[in-house]
Structure 1
Amino acid sequence: MAEIEVRAAENVMEACARTPSITRCVFTSSLSACVWQDNSQSDFTPVINHASWSTESFCIEKKLWYALGKMRAEKAAWRISNERGLKLTTICPALITGPEFCHRNPTATIAYLKGAQEMYSQGFLASVDVTKLAEAHASVFKAMNNEASGRYICFDHVIDTHSEAEKLAKDIGMPKEKICGDASNNSSIHRFELSNEKLCRIMSRPLRCYSEY
């Protein structure tokens, strides 16, 4: 799966680079390319933001193939952007939701939620409405004429209570135990904090903002 993601990213970026009329590109990555980190490392930080990358060895160890593919694909996009002089920004969305979206795209939804219990318990199980994600793409693309650059984390809700986890499971047709396990309380002790502050600064209709800690 990871190799397919990388090849697809390379093909898209090369096609953009060969097209004279294309000078800038917004590449859709995934929040999963940012959040899977080995918290035993000395450089571990509890804040996940635009500078965060998932740890490749950790993804392989945990068999997080979707996250591994998204991370490698985004890095391939950045490599080609630098080599070919194509202006690039990337958006890293959380689990994409919306009316019937998960049911129409079940493969991507299920793949994203590999490790959902750990995401939920550690505070980085988040979602973004597909309409707001589209608005984020448009805002970033427009802002590339000025200051926009680099990576942007995109989410509008963090699932951090048992009731929210149950609702998400119901909405996507997944057993609730796959997300919240056997927990019965309504709160979790989080090790991570998500921040989309960088994206919020450039959106005219901002997502729910989570500041840097």
Structure 2
Amino acid sequence: MGIARAQDEESERREFEDFRKTLVALAATERSKENDDFKGLTSSHIADLDLQLDKLVCVTSGVSFLGLALVNRLLLRGYSVRILVDNQEDVEKLREMQVSGEMMMACNNKISVVIAKQTEIQGLMEAFDGCRGVFHTSAFVDPSGISGYSKSMAEIEVKASENVMKACARTSSVRNCVLTSSLLACIWRDSSQHDLPLLVNHDSWSNEALCMEKKLWFALGKLKAEKVAWKIAEEMSLKLTTICPGLITGPQFSHRNPTATIAYLKGAQEMYAKGLLATVDVIRLAEAHVAVFEAMNKTAFGRYICFDRIIARDEEAEKLASEIGIPPNRICGNSLEFIPTHFELSNKKLINLMSRTIRNWHGQS
């Protein structure tokens, strides 16, 4: 039985590797024929072809809580989605999601899967080939399932961000990239500074040394991953935007996204005391990703803070703790220990963009 199963697994692995290579080969063939295909076409035909090409995008970690919501949102907007996964197990997860109805069955012909390691730039380039946009959702989990999010995982996330950005910049078809960062990359600032602004918005950056001192590895990973992404984007002329969401919530979020949920809440008491503990529903976050991406050739630029609720009262904190399955004092206990400086979170930049984009969406329907 063990031998037979191993042979089956090896057969499936070869099958999906062949599938991946076929996708890459087809994309290369199409590009090589591009000039011949365009001969004799009218401007309207070329515009239609460009529109079809513009609708192919890639989502990294497409089996994650956010990744799945983003894939579904993109499908609803008419995109074809190439889902990048790390291994065969993720492919099986996708199959289960399709069967369970978590992924839109009606759009199966617009979904493709590519297996590629985020540690290998060449493999990422092959996965992105033919895509006009890439959404790097930066969804990582603890392989051992016990530490939440370790210091070593932060370094892995930073390296993955570096590789994805370099692969995007080196892939000629990729025009735009959207990186999922975190609100934690904005809020952990040195409160001992007398001139520290009370407003926390898209221009705010967390302090790397403070994150190290407090051992806020999730915040550190998101902060450094975003910084390296911006560095490479500037050096390699990659068009990039980043979205910095609060704690991602939604149906069964603590069960479906446990690593990021627990890791995000390290330091929750201090965040709550300072008015900086915010959440965002995963569907709204997915919509924000698509809205920002679609506005990148017009008005979208830089960073966007994304949240739809600030946890400001004890009953709200207790409800959140109950949803996660942790004691309330993990969030709202001992809040008087912290300096009573209350900050103001602002997502005005994203709200303004979303209001314009949603009006356009309704106008198209």
Q: Same fold (TM over 0.5)?
A: yes
Pick from 304, 328, 342 the counterpart of residue 176 of structure 1: 328
1:110 matched to which residue of 2? 262
1:204 aligned counterpart, secondary structure: helix
Alpha carbons 2:269, 2:335 under 8 Å: kept: no
Instruction: Specify the alignment match of 2:305 in structure 1.
Output: 153
- Secondary structure of 2:280's aligned partner: strand
Distance 2:335 2:182 in 1: 27
2: distance between equivalents of 1:145 and 1:14? Answer: 20
1:44 aligns with 2:179: no
Supply the AA of the counterpart residue of 2:157.
E
CA contact (8 A) 1:94 1:126 kept: yes
CA distance in 2: counterparts of 1:57 and 1:183, whole angstroms: 23
Corresponding residue SS for 2:196: coil
Aligned to 1:103, the other structure's residue is in SS state: helix
- 2:154 paired with 1:2: yes
Q: Deviations over 1:155-213 (max 9, x none)?
A: 000000000000000011111110011579xxxx5521100000001103899xxxxxx
> Do residues 191 (structure 1) and 361 (structure 2) align?
no
**Superposition pairs of residues 7-18 of structure 1, within 5 angstroms:** 7-18=159-170
What's the offset of the Cα at 1:40?
A: 1.1
Aligned residue for 1:127, secondary structure, equals: strand
Structure 2 unaligned regions, length at least 5: 1-152, 359-365
**Equivalence for 1:211:** none
Map 1:23-42 onto structure 2 (within 5 A): 23-42=175-194
SS at match of 1:120: helix
Post-superposition offset of 1:57 = 1.1
Identity of aligned residues (%): 65
With over 3 angstroms needed to count, the CA separation of the structure-2 counterparts of 1:182 and 1:42, relative to structure 1, is closer
5 Å-filtered alignment, 1:22-101, equals: 22-101=174-253
SS in 1 for 2:355: coil
**Taking structure 1 as reference, are residues 102 and 190 closer, same or farther at Cα in structure 2, changes over 3 Å only?**
farther
Q: How far does the alpha carbon of each residue in 1:105-127 deviate from its partner, in whole angstroms, 9 at most, with x for none?
A: 11110001000000101100000
Q: Which residue of 2 aligns with 1:164?
A: 316
Cα 1:20–1:51 change in 2 (3 A) is same
Size of the aligned set, in residue pairs, is 203
Whether the 8 Å contact between 2:177 and 2:240 is mirrored in structure 1 is yes
Partners of 1:165 and 1:179 within 8 A in 2: yes
Of 196, 200, 205, the match for 2:351: 200
Structure 2 residue identity aligned to 1:147: T
Tell me the SS of whatever aligns to 1:7. helix
1:42, distance to aligned residue in structure 2 (A): 3.7
- Alpha-carbon separation, structure 2, partners of 1:180 and 1:34: 21
Contact 1:200 1:206 in 2 (8 A): no
- Name the one with the larger helix percent: 2
SS of structure 1 residue aligned to 2:243: strand
3-state SS in 1 of match to 2:273: helix
Q: Deviations over 1:122-144 (max 9, x none)?
A: 10000000000000001100111
The AA in structure 1 aligned to 2:261 is T
Corresponding position of 2:292:
140
Gaps of 5+ in 1: 208-213
Matched residue of 1:203: which SS?
helix
In 2, Cα distance between equivalents of 1:148 and 1:183? 37
Q: Could you tell me how far 1:101 is from its partner in structure 2?
A: 1.8
Structure possessing the higher radius of gyration over alpha carbons = 2
For residue 297 of structure 2, give the secondary structure of its aligned residue in structure 1. Answer: coil
TM-score by length of 1: 0.91
Are the aligned partners of 2:179 and 2:243 in contact in 1 as well (CA < 8 Å)? yes
Number of the residue aligned with 2:277 = 125
